[in-house]
Structure formats: structure tokens, C-alpha cells
Amino acid sequence: RAYLDMGDEEGARSILQEVVNEGSEQQKAAAQKMMGGFS
């Protein structure tokens, strides 16, 4: 979330993709929801 707040969409996307690959089911769902907000 901090990356998005700073306007670093590419950094946020990288971190969120890592969460999708390695996180718990709850973390994966939250990361995918955040990624859906990218333009």
C-alpha cells in the first residue's frame, strides 16, 4: 500500500505479485484486489 501511496505503481505491482505467488489465501485475495485498481 505504501508504494501506491507514493505513486510507485511498478514497485507496488512487483510486491503484490510476490504476495500472490507466496502469500496466504487471505493475503492473495487482498493483493489481487489491490492489483485490480491499477490502470
- Give the pLDDT confidence of 1-39 residue by residue, as tens digits: 788 889 898 999 999 999 999 999 999 999 999 988 776
CA dihedral 8, 9, 11, 15 (to 10 degrees): 130
- Single pTM value for the model: 0.75
d(CA 16, CA 27): 9
What pLDDT is recorded for position 12? Answer: 92
Least Cα distance to 36 among 28, 7, 22 occurs for 28
Report the pLDDT value the prediction gives residue 2, as an integer from 0 to 100: 85
Q: What is the pLDDT of residue 32?
A: 94
